[in-house]
Chains A and B, each alone.
Chain A
Amino acid sequence: MFPEQLNVPLGKWVNQFVDWLVINYGAAFEAFADSLLTVLVALEQVLRGAPWWVVLIAIAAITWHASKNWKLVVGLVVAMFAIGMLGLWDKAMQTLALMIVATSLSVLIGIPVGIAMAMSNRLRAIMLPILDTMQTMPSFVYLIPALMLFGLGKVPAILATVIYAAPPVMRLTDLGIRLVDQEVLEASRSFGASRKQILFGVQLPLALPNIMAGINQTTMMSISMVVIASMIGARGLGEQVLMGIQRLDVGAGMEAGIAIVLLAVVFDRIGQAYGKRSQRNPHAEDA
């Protein structure tokens, strides 16, 4: 047996810290949660309020913009249609809203962090183990304090999703910038470009294919968090899976599972199409 007197009461300290946060900053967290919730609820109302065929047209338009490939457009519209046929349209729209907000938040936080990591080796050395932790830590561990700070519902679900899904876009932004051809950077510096001009004129455009791959991965990971998020009160397809498990209703669980996969396929294909487009030169489109 490991000597008990060497035990570190880490758990107790964390509890004390969370209590202290709740007591002193509870109001601030609530204000933050409210603003996030406002955005989410508005988006959810739009998606659920819009007629189903409007959403299908929107998906078709986005797919066409990304890929210019009508076969893909038809395929993705059929996939969305199938979700409707499973009777899960409304829940899918709830999941979609949750996912869009979580992915946007991940990208908004992830790209600047990734840029900072590419600029500073020290920050990168600090961030890499943190990102590993974010991706491997069981999500329930941080769901508990998130629940204490934000209460049950959608906001902790979004935060849990962001913690889990933001690392890929950070990693790939960092990688993409580090892979930019050194001679092109030198050329840019030799013409007297400022750091800002180099970042926005050279580094980010050339890193774009990698950044797009990161955004795609982040999107996929946020879909996979949907089921878990339903356990703390987020509505949507995950809720349906959870209900299937609780009632031992294999069929309902399967239906919801298929709907999640279809939604994932739709977003993966759109994301990949945008990624491919950023890889080739704009001239390829004219040809």
Chain B
Amino acid sequence: MSYIEIRNIFKIFGPDPKLALELARDGSDKDEILAATGHTVGLHDVSLSVEKGETFVVMGLSGSGKSTLIRHLNRLIDPTAGSISFGGEDILAMDIPTLNAFRRKRLGMVFQRFGLLPHRNVLDNVAYGLEIQGTARKEREAAASKWIERVGLAGYETKFPDQLSGGMQQRVGLARALATDPEVLLMDEAFSALDPLIRSDMQDELMKLQGELHKTIVFITHDLDEALKIGDRIAILKDGKLVQVGRPEEIVLNPADDYVQAFTRDVNRARVLRARSIMQAPANQKIIDQEHPVVSDDTRLEDILPIILATGKDISVIDERENLVGIITKEQIVQSLSL
């Protein structure tokens, strides 16, 4: 059983969701249900499992239900049907005080437009979660200062949100979410409102932090490049339905349908594909040939390209125990890039 289990979630918006739920269960799609009952289907029979410590990205265009989905994980929205559990604990069964305690202790959330409190300075914003928990001022300010420094905002403690740039505001949002040391970080289009360069910086920052913290991250985005860059696994939503779940390479190499394929067409494959998914089995030689350059099976194609261009030789691929697991030739690189 995975850490977060989402089972058969339906969310229907409207005055009488039960009626529309029957139609949805019988297989009617979003448009048919809207035409027949006037109800909007937000999520249609979505089941997902998120492992502890992974960065799980939910990707979809606007109206796909991705923001609705992430709000189910902390019950800002309750589902019409289905079940959600964290570490075996059914969160839909929680009463209000239990739910609030669960939100305080175990979850942190980062918002697209930051959601900072405009009347509080950076320090008090970052300390907000701890203040809600009832932590003493001295303690929470110490913790907040630590996180402000960690996200690179030392010296800005007494500034107010409207005095900061978008990127800096989102760093505050990130520090605020991390300050309570939650198990799970929910990020709702956290970098979508930022300029491309800043966005890329923030993605790197998040990956660096995640490398040290190993939180369970659920990240929502409409940008496939972003999903491929930071996601350990990716789920693709369309019209409230789950289209595909898989590792970035699986999505790019084996798109589930035309919809996913249309997304992956413009992706920079060299950045997504790794040695293990383009190599071929070694021709029964178990010993690594000293003549050939060696890379780990986790290496991205974009890092293999300069090696093969410089040396002109086939590349040996090894796993983490340094066993030879495959060979990459020029032909395979050309083939994998031209698919």
Interface residues of chain A, those whose CB is within 8 Å of chain B, are 181, 183-184, 186-194, 197, 201-202, 205-206, 281-283
Q: Is the beta-carbon distance between A186 and B111 smaller than 8 angstroms?
A: yes
Q: How many A-B contacts are there with CB distance less than 8 Å?
A: 69
**Contact residues in B for A205 (Cβ distance below 8 Å):** 119
Across-interface contacts of B328 in A (CB, < 8 A): none
CA distance A192 to B131 in the complex (A): 11
Q: Tell me the nearest residue of chain A to B125, going by C-beta.
A: A187
Closest to A187 in B: B115
Residue among B109, B113, B115, B118 with max Cβ neighbours from chain A (10 Å):
B115
Q: Are B119 and A192 in contact (CB under 8 A)?
A: no
> What residues of B have a CB within 8 angstroms of the CB of A281 in the complex?
118-119, 160, 162
Kindly state the separation between the CA atoms of A243 and B177 in the bound complex, as whole angstroms: 67
Q: B69 in the interface, Cβ–Cβ < 8 Å?
A: no
Determine if B146 is an interface residue (Cβ-Cβ < 8 Å). Answer: no
A186-B76, A281-B160 given as contacts; is B117 within 8 A of A191 (CB)? no
Whether B165 sits at the interface, judged by CB under 8 Å, is no
Q: Does any Cβ of A come within 8 Å of B13's Cβ? A: no
CB distance from A267 to the nearest CB of B (A): 26
Task: Report the minimum CB–CB distance from A119 to chain B (whole Å).
Answer: 15
**CB contact under 8 A between A192 and B111, given known A281-B160, A283-B158:** no
The CA of A192 and the CA of B76, in the complex, are separated in Å by 10
B162 touches A184 (CB 8 A): no
| Nearest CB of B to A192, in Å | 3
* B186 neighbours in A (Cβ, 8 Å): 190
Q: Check A183 against B111 for contact (C-beta < 8 Å).
A: yes
Whole-angstrom distance from the CB of A34 to the nearest CB of chain B?
Answer: 41
Known: A186-B76, A283-B160. A194 touches B115 (CB 8 A): no
In the complex with contacts A183-B111, A186-B111, A191-B118 CB distance below 8 A: no
- Is there a chain A Cβ closer than 8 Å to B159's Cβ? yes
Query: Taking the complex as formed, is B116 at the interface, i.e. its CB lies under 8 A from any CB of chain A?
Result: yes
CB distance from A202 to the nearest CB of B (A): 7
Contacts of B116 in A (CB 8 A): 184, 187
Other contacts beyond A184-B115, A283-B158: 19, CB < 8 A: A184-B116, A184-B117, A186-B71, A188-B117, A189-B76, A190-B76, A190-B107, A190-B109, A191-B132, A191-B180, A192-B99, A192-B105, A192-B107, A192-B129, A194-B100, A197-B132, A281-B118, A282-B119, A283-B159
- Tell yes or no: B102 within 8 A of A by CB: yes
Q: What residues on B are CB-neighbors of A283 within 8 Å?
A: 121, 158-160, 163
Known: A186-B76, A187-B109. A192 touches B118 (CB 8 A): no
- Chain B contact residues: helix, strand, loop or mixed: mixed
Are A193 and B76 CB-contacts (below 8 A) given A183-B111, A281-B119?
A: no
The reply to whether B103 and A191 contact each other, CB–CB distance below 8 Å, is: yes
B131: chain A residues within 8 A (beta carbon): 201
CA distance A183 to B162 in the complex (A): 16
- Collect the chain B residues with CB atoms within 8 Å of residue A282's CB: 119, 160
Residues of B within 8 A of A183 (CB): 111-115
The answer for the CA separation of A136 and B76 in the assembled complex, in Å, is: 42
B74 within 8 A of A: yes
Across-interface contacts of B160 in A (CB, < 8 A)? 281-283
| Residues in chain B near residue A189, CB distance under 8 A | 76, 103
CB contacts (< 8 Å) of B102 on chain A: these are: 192
Asked if B72 lies at the interface with its beta carbon under 8 angstroms from chain A, I say: no
B179 to nearest A CB, angstroms? 10
Can you sample 10 A-B contacts with CB below 8 Å?
A183-B113, A184-B118, A187-B111, A191-B132, A192-B99, A192-B129, A201-B131, A205-B119, A281-B118, A281-B160
| B162 contact set on A, CB distance < 8 A | 281
For A193, the chain B residues whose CB sits under 8 A away are 100, 132
Q: Which of B100, B158, B163 contacts A192 (CB 8 A)?
A: B100
